[in-house]
A and B are shown apart, each in its own frame.
Chain A
Amino acid sequence: MADQTRSDIALLYRRAGFGIRPDELDALTGAGYNAAVDGLLAGLGSAPDPGGDSVTVPVFHIYQRPPKNFTQAQRKAADAVYATELRDLQDWWLNRMIKTSTPLREKLTLFWHGHFATGVVKVRDAKLMYLQNQLLRTTGAGPFDQLVQAVAKDGAMMVWLDTATDVKDHPNENFAREMMELFTLGVNNYTQDDVVAGARAFTGWRYDRLAYEYRFVPRLHDYGSKTYLGQTGDWNGEDAVNIAVRNPVSPRFVMAKLWSHFAYPVTPAEPVITDLVAAYGPSMNLTSALEAMFKHDAFRTATTRTNLVKQPIEYLAGAARALGLDATADRTGSSPSHGSGRPLAVIATALGQTPFNPPNVGGWGQNAYWLDTSTALVRQEAALFLAMRADLTSIGSIPPSQRPAAVARMLSIDGFGPTTMTALAAAQTNPVQLMALALASPEYVLA
């Protein structure tokens, strides 16, 4: 029973966080699984995060739109500033994930980054991406309607999906469509007429990129009557969001997205979603939904354990956390001696998941999306790299036959199957190789 509780809490911390160290797991096991869930939920909202807040926030320049007459050299200089700030921002977030004391909030932020996928490649302003990231962190467990309202007025989102160019005479359909298709309802739950009406509702929305503030410009807004998702009225952008999140299909869509990323991929029709929707309720309470999900009997099952692959960012942050490394793969607390810097963000890109730069508005895929020959090779290279940087004396100091089990404990997984054990046996005299193999094993690559 204690072993099962231990395994369940390790699963919880892999999904709701970035893994758990063996001593932390020992400490939590006595109080039981539900107490562990409650502890994670207590770190949502505005709870203090001494670990995460110990990471220094990068300094961002004030955004200046490059003048039309910029020379090539001036553009290059501006691009260099932007590239530096983006790298700092990526390191900052990865280090937060590695050091956070409120892992669920950090993991939920990563989830919303994929849901409200916004790419810096179009936004081209690290500060806007930072502000969106903070918004997802502070509002991500609140009522869902408030989250979507805030994201709709977020500067990075408004640039990314062109809301900031939406004018009465020429409504831009981009945000209205994706808000329904990707954020609130799902494909085929709206019509092109709804898209056109929604775009009209968002006309007049602007973002002041110097003040970093949302503005409403009445003269650009279409005050005419609009029929949108079956309701007719003089709808504005806030109305468009409210009507969408209160549409009957929305709760199942949102809850299925949550379950798919924390447990395993499902469609909104899956029976388990009914239980999450009940907890989510008419107030769209995301914290209640998270509690219902993690405490659901279907969460702590073999189905959950075998049906989700770690996405690269959580894979790398989790490995670094377990091995005592930071985002530059230096040992936490040691002076930066390697010099090369920021390999985690570089590896994440090589694995196909650049922080702050999802491939498109649909975000990243799941499971098979992360499995191809290139990622298999990069994953093994990354695993060797991290293992070489880690302090593995605790592994090297015990008899080889006990090492695989000790590695599994370090990585917060239950253990290894016979096929993996055969491979590990071939490397167990070499702690670096053993750890590198374990990090690339199916048991660890599964979430």
Chain B
Amino acid sequence: MAMISRRKFLTALGAASGAAMVGGAAWGIDASTQRSAPRTQASTSGPLVLITLYGGNDGLNTVIPYTDPAYKAARPNLGYDPSVVLAMADGLGLNPKLTGVHGLWGQGKLAVVRGVGYPNPNLSHFESMDIWQTANPADGAGTGWLGRWLDATGTDPMRALSVGTTLPLALRGQSQSASAVTATSINVPGGPQFEKPFTLMQAPGPDRTGLAGQIAGSGNNLIKVKGQLDALHTHIPSTTGPPTTASTPGSPSGAGRTRSAGQGTLSASDVTAPLGIVAALINAGSPARVYQVSLGSFDTHADEKANQEKLLANLDEGITSFLDAVAANPAGRNAVLMTYSEFGRRPIENASGGTDHGTAAPLFVAGHNVKGGFYGEEPSLTHLDANGNLVFNVDFRSVYATVLEKVIGFDSKDVLGGTFPTLGFV
């Protein structure tokens, strides 16, 4: 399992030869080449890498209150025995599959924000995910929280990149959106002879105003992102193999789809390949300030243990491989990974070996320069809400305010419509 994931990760990084690779050093990129790279102006400010966990991850079996009698009482079958839990502190420990993340905890590179949620929790996946992605706890309506940052900071399509076929609401603004990519480079469909007419089709022109201009503009952004990605690739040493190349998965076969051998189709249940793409981009000097990847589904109403463990093992591999890969890169060392899910799950297990929709949950913040430790209080397992769910104590917008202010470098009030206290993890 771990070996397969590792290979996938290396493949995503473009290490087609399978040659041994030790962290980011294999890229041969150091601070001096970063600074001399044309166009990219790589800064040593770290980007935010947002990891969306779809389906509602069970927080109580991720960061486990294994010494709390109420945990054992609520989870007679699903509960983890103290002997297998990876101990942290305060009577909490990590899921046994999170060995790499536990290593980060030991190195002080993992922050765990406990009991994150919002008032009047919504138990619908869809509405709660909208609430998280819009940062609008009233009804989840409106633009994405990072979309509002994009709206306010110009038009460069490389400011935020989402790896995957669909662009989450979080990254959609009124007039600006993140760019969606599925590889470290973009191939215009139709082969080289189609590139010229395709490029001409996206050109601005006096006859293209309003929406017609926006339609051409999105194609023009695609070409700009392609150009920036192509430029980055000149800084990827050839010894690590060719850059991965793909058009959007999900497109019909035969539709001008090209993909270099070895690169599988991105899967919703694997986060290692997308994080490998992010690592490769950061190491190549990508100027993006925000990346987004996703993993699912954590909706474990039944047979939770096997399903969640598989996903957490994948997450563990993704996070640790990513941090290894960017360790030698100044921006990579300052990169901040942050997980979130639409909600946690109910403390009391159900009759199907699973758990139902819950509320507050812990989230991970990881990075070489993250200030590890616990933030926020662990929710009580004995003082639950009317639905038998945990009561939150850290508003998720405090976490957003922290990464907006301290990672992205933007006034969080403009995005969140209010002031929320920042946390100390960066």
A residues with a Cβ closer than 8 A to B are 68-70, 72, 75, 119, 121-122, 174, 181, 187, 306-309, 329, 340, 343, 346-347, 349-350, 352, 359-362, 367-369, 371-378, 380-382, 384-385, 388, 417-420, 422-424, 426-427, 433, 436-437, 440-443, 445-446
Contacts and interface: CB of A to CB of B under 8 A. Distances in A.
21 contacts: A68-B351, A306-B209, A340-B254, A350-B251, A352-B166, A373-B177, A373-B180, A374-B181, A377-B247, A381-B247, A381-B248, A418-B205, A419-B203, A419-B204, A419-B207, A422-B200, A423-B197, A423-B203, A436-B194, A440-B219, A442-B212
Q: Which 5 A-B pairs have the closest CB atoms?
A: A419-B205, A374-B180, A385-B255, A417-B207, A423-B200
Contact of B248 (A69, A378, A420, A433): A378
A446 B141 contact: no
Contact of B188 (A306, A375, A380, A419): A380
A89 to B, nearest CB: 19
Nearest to A389: B254
Interface of B: 124-127, 130, 139-141, 157, 165-167, 169, 172, 174-175, 177-181, 186, 188-190, 193-194, 196-198, 200-219, 221-222, 225, 247-257, 302-303, 306, 351-352
Contacts of A420: 201
A422 B209 CA distance: 17
B87 to A, nearest CB: 31
Given A380-B188, A382-B252, A306 B210 contact: yes
Given A350-B165, A360-B130, A382-B251, A377 B205 contact: no
Given A70-B302, A376-B219, A385 B254 contact: yes
Contact of B218 (A72, A347, A375): A375
Given A374-B166, A377-B247, A426-B200, A433 B190 contact: yes
Nearest to A66: B302
A392 to B, nearest CB: 15
Contact of B179 (A309, A372, A382, A437): A372
A445 B215 contact: yes
Contact of A426 (B196, B208, B252): B196
A376 B225 CA distance: 12
B6 to A, nearest CB: 27
Nearest to A358: B126
Given A72-B303, A368-B174, A361 B126 contact: yes
Give the one of B174, B215, B216 with max A CB within 10 A.
B215
A376 B177 CA distance: 13
B166 to A, nearest CB: 6
B267 to A, nearest CB: 15
Nearest to B125: A122
Nearest to A440: B201
Nearest to B205: A419
Nearest to A438: B201
A416 B264 CA distance: 39
B252 A388 contact: no
B254 A380 contact: no
Nearest to B215: A442
Nearest to B186: A377
Contacts of A385: 251-252, 254-256
Contacts of A361: 126-127
A62 B271 CA distance: 37
Nearest to B225: A373
A427 B197 contact: yes
A378 B211 CA distance: 19
A122 B255 contact: no
Contacts of B352: 68-70
Nearest to B141: A362
B198 A437 contact: yes
Given A426-B200, A433-B197, A418 B207 contact: yes
Nearest to A72: B303
A417 B126 contact: no
Contacts of B302: 70, 72, 75
Given A423-B201, A424-B197, A373 B251 contact: no
B222 A376 contact: yes
A444 to B, nearest CB: 9
A196 B103 CA distance: 49
